[in-house]
């Protein structure tokens, strides 16, 4: 397969495809050893019921490939308090005492619930990028948002120091939600040890087969910037990205991706995922 050519910035703007530039350089996975431990024989299950109730009330499922949305402006004081209570309950979980499957679900749900709470703390806001971690850090990803087992954690810590380096599963990019229209869907139910595989596969297929993930504008292939920022997680090359996309693509899209060697560009929509 030939090397894909990446369209220049001006070309993307001309096609109307570049809705917003990247908020940050993608961090590399850097393993945090204190989270290495697990209890393979543990049958303990973390209660994600409060998160399930929040999602049932405030998540609006997208139609025909459109993203799932969150009704941030409608969240009641009582439900916001319940969400904070859920986060408080996760903060006291002995994570290393869980089995690996339970841990994976725990970290994904924690990430997503923290992201929603961060938006609520700053709402109304047009984009998560408007919430700053510091002078030169657009977005809240480096803010220490919660303390778990004595360690203060940011969203970047959870994604890049725990989830990515422990599980080496590129589908994690379809599970953690950045509260933006260009992001993979926030799933309408919590992750659990029992349903994680199903939700990860669903998230991958939903995203790849939506305009957010991959689509053609004429002869030009337009990909989510996720596949640029995290190319190392998708085979480490453009060929690897295309192979990954073909695996999840519906037949018509897969046929167009097969052997593709034309022009390609990346785009991402950082507007808030709200109705």
The single residue listed with the structure tokens 């990430």 is: 111
* pLDDT of 137: 76
R_g of the chain computed on alpha carbons:
19
What is the C-alpha separation between 48 and 194, in angstroms, rounded? 13
Bridging pattern class, strands 220-224 and 263-267: parallel
194 class by beta-carbon count within 10 Å (0-12 exposed, 13-18 middle, 19+ buried): exposed
Per the CB < 8 A criterion, the answer to whether 60 and 273 are in contact is: no
What is the C-alpha separation between 5 and 47, in angstroms, rounded? 47
**Structure tokens given for 261:** 């060697």
* pLDDT of 138: 83
**Structure tokens given for 195:** 């349903």
DSSP for 163-230 reads IHHHH--GGGGGTS--SBTTSPPPPSS---TTTHHHHHHHHHHHHHTSTTTEEEETTEEEEETHHHHT
| 176-217 confidence digits (pLDDT tens) | 999 999 999 999 999 999 999 999 999 999 999 999 999 999
Strand partners, 263: 5
Per the CB < 8 A criterion, the answer to whether 84 and 117 are in contact is: yes
**Structure tokens given for 196:** 């994680």
pLDDT in tens, the chain (275 residues): 444 544 443 344 444 444 544 444 689 999 999 999 999 999 999 999 999 999 999 999 999 999 999 999 999 999 999 999 999 999 999 999 999 999 999 999 999 999 999 999 999 999 999 998 777 778 999 999 999 999 999 999 999 999 999 999 999 999 999 999 999 999 999 999 999 999 999 999 999 999 999 999 999 999 999 999 999 999 999 999 999 999 999 999 999 999 999 999 999 999 999 99
* Closest CA relative to residue 66, chosen from 208, 203, 181, 190: 181
What is the C-alpha separation between 178 and 261, in angstroms, rounded? 31
Q: Which residues of 14-35 are buried (b: 16+ CB within 10 A; e: fewer)?
A: eeebbebeebeebbebeebeeb
Domain assignments of the chain as residue spans, ordered by start: 26-210
* pLDDT of 25: 63
């Amino acid at each position: 397969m030939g090397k894909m050519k990446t369209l220049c910035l001006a070309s993307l703007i001309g096609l109307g495809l570049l809705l917003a530039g990247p908020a940050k350089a993608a961090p590399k996975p850097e393993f945090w050893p204190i989270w290495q431990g697990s209890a393979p024989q543990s049958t303990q299950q973390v209660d994600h019921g409060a998160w399930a109730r929040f999602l049932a009330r405030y998540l609006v499922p997208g139609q025909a490939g459109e993203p799932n949305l969150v009704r941030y402006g409608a969240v009641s004081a009582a439900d916001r308090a319940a969400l904070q209570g859920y986060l408080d309950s996760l903060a006291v979980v002995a994570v290393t005492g869980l089995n690996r499957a339970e841990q994976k679900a725990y970290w994904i749900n924690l990430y997503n619930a923290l992201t929603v709470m961060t938006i609520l703390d700053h709402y109304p806001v047009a984009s998560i990028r408007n919430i700053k971690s510091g002078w030169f850090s657009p977005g809240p990803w480096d803010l220490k948002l919660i303390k778990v087992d004595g360690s203060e954690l940011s969203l970047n810590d959870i994604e890049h120091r725990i989830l990515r380096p422990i599980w080496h599963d590129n589908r994690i990019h379809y599970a953690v939600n950045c509260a933006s229209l260009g992001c993979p869907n926030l799933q309408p139910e919590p992750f659990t040890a029992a349903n994680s595989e199903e939700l990860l596969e669903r998230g991958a297929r939903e995203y790849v087969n939506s305009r957010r993930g991959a689509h053609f504008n004429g002869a030009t292939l337009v990909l989510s910037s996720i596949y640029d920022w995290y190319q190392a997680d998708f085979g480490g090359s453009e060929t690897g990205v295309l192979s990954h996309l073909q695996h999840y693509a519906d037949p018509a899209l897969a046929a167009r991706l097969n052997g593709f060697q034309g022009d390609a560009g990346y785009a991402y929509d950082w507007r808030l995922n709200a109705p």
